[in-house]
Amino acid sequence: MKVVTSCERSTGRGARHYTAVLLDGKWVKVSNHPEVVRAGREDDFQNYMLDVADDAITADFYRSNSGIESVDASNGMQWDSFALAKRWAASGTGAPTTCPHCGREM
Residue 36's identity, in one-letter code, is V
- pLDDT at residue 99, rounded to an integer: 56
Q: What is the DSSP letter of 87?
A: H
Among 25, 5, 20, which residue's Cα sits nearest to residue 73? 20
Q: Where are the domains of the chain?
A: 2-85
Q: How far apart are CA 62 and CA 92, in angstroms?
A: 22
106 band by pLDDT with thresholds 50, 70 and 90? very low
Burial (Cβ within 10 Å: 0-12, 13-18, ≥19) of residue 29: middle
pLDDT of residue 53: 87
Work out the average pLDDT over 88-92.
85
Closest CA to 56 of 86, 81, 20: 20
